[in-house]
Amino acid sequence: MAKYYPEPSRTFSEYLLVPGYSSKECIPSNVSLKTPLVKYQKGKQPSLSLQIPLVSAIMQSVSGEKMAVALAKEGGISFIYGSQTIEDQAEMIRRVKATKAGFVVSDANIRPDQTLADVVKLKEDTGHGTIAVTVDGLANSKLLGIVTSRDYRVSRMSLDSKVEDFMTPFDKLVTGNEGISLSEANDIIWDHKLNALPIIDKQGILKYFVFRKDYDSHKENPLEVLDEKKRYLVGAGINTRDYKDRVPALVAAGADVLCIDSSEGFSDWQKFTLTWIRETYGDKVKVGAGNIVDKDGFLFLANAGADFIKIGIGGGSICITREQKGIGRGQATALMEVAAARDEYYEKTGTYIPICSDGGIVLDYHMTLALAMGADFLMLGRYFSRFDESPTKKISINGSYMKEYWGEGSARARNWQRYDDGEQAELSFVEGVDSYVPYAGALKDNVAMSLSKLRHTFCNCGALSIKELQQKARITLVSSTSIVEGGAHDVVVKESSETNK
């Protein structure tokens, strides 16, 4: 007969943290959420780390270029979805890497022979008031001038007016040279009372803008994760079918880390992918693998060369794998077993392989529980899909704003590449749904609130870091009655000032 586990597999909602001693040093501002992203040897530092333990899921409805930049500013990383053409995914990576901290690639550009009507439409489409006038109307072309709201009045000018007749021409612009530091650019902006400083190369090609309005925002992002060239870190999803073509393109585009996007990672197909990457690139290309739910799966991927390993099958809010195929495991149980395997592997080999909990996070306190149970960082889909920066539409349903959210295994995404069984190149049946989630606003505000809860809970447990939390946390299983007791009960609630996330 089949092997039978006598204990049920459990979810995060079945546990609570028991508070511990908090010293006077245990205040939220002292809590560090820094965490390793890729494996490292004992006594050494990982080549890639995050300032917060949050990454966005490899999904069409979650991780586009806007999400990547916004999350990197907060200290996390996005994995640009791979269920698109290699060329389109690589271009997304390039656009993220072209966005340095404080240096913005212009996405509002126009030709000098276009008209005021084109300017008005471009401003409506992009929301940007500073428009670069270039030879061909494209970014990274020769800069001829700039148009801002100070250059025209729609009420007093003909919409047929040519841009070249009312733009601020190049010879009247203050510019910065490529290679200038952000500090130097900001000094020029303040000295000349500018709103925007174009950065050009020796041939006069527009490379970036530095905006006055961004000065304060950069001061507000002390945790942003950057590479050695001050560009935002970004990840990318790959699959086990076209990796020999996709990986080189993504590496060339500048992806800092890759991750195999698969419904189930305990397979030869992932081993083949990891082996090819190691044989081709050695350890220079960092790549995560998964998903798995037990010790055997972890050891398989660890020995295959994974830089981090993802845990979770069937726990996502849009995932119906358990309904369709009857496979999976409660996320909390899976995480605790794999965390123990990770620690045992570290003791035996001296190699620490970070683990990522993927799925099952419904409430903010589940994040703290997952970290306490051993996760190094968390991959979130539904959580990030609700924000302005996700790639989906915001729509009104019955008077409430919602965002579209669909699974990679849904009929809408049709991401058959992540279901590799070595046979047909098609989606035989769906393992995800198409849905809506309540719109929640800007990523920055929501992430700040979630991290505030994490830091406060860390202090309740007497911990100032993720590792210390994992050492000191005490976790208790709770009954269904205790779960009910944990919320508002036996009262009529007048109003709620905050929506649980």
Q: Which residues are catalytic?
A: 319, 418
Q: Which residues of 456-483 are buried (b: 16+ CB within 10 A; e: fewer)?
A: ebbbbbbbbebebbbeebeeeeeeeeee
With 0-12 / 13-18 / 19 or more C-beta atoms within 10 angstroms meaning exposed / middle / buried, residue 25 is: exposed
Show the tokens assigned to 23: 């010293």
Neighbouring C-alpha atoms within 13 Å toward the C-beta of 364: 17
| Three-class DSSP category at 497 | coil
Strand 40-41, strand 77-80: pairing: unpaired
Residue type (1 letter), 48: L
Closest CA to 176 of 152, 149, 143, 148: 143
CA distances from 423 to 83, 243, 466 (A): 18, 16, 42
8 DSSP 8-state letter: P
DSSP category for residue 379: E
Q: Which residues contact 275 (CB under 8 A, 6 or more apart)?
A: 304, 305
Greatest alpha-carbon span in the chain: 84
For residue 245, the tally of other CB atoms under 10 A from its CB is 10
Beta-bridge partners for 171: none
- Specify which residues 236 forms β-bridges with: 80, 258
What contacts 64, CB < 8 A, 6 or more positions away?
80, 81, 92, 389, 390, 391
443 and 389 Cβ atoms separated by less than 8 Å: yes
**Contact criterion met (CB below 8 Å) for 320 and 433:** yes
Per-residue burial over 372-388, b = 16 or more CB atoms within 10 Å of its CB, e = otherwise: bbbbbbbbbbbbbbbbb
AA letter at 215: Y
Q: Which residues have C-beta within 8 Å of that of residue 221, sequence separation ≥ 6?
A: 73, 74, 101
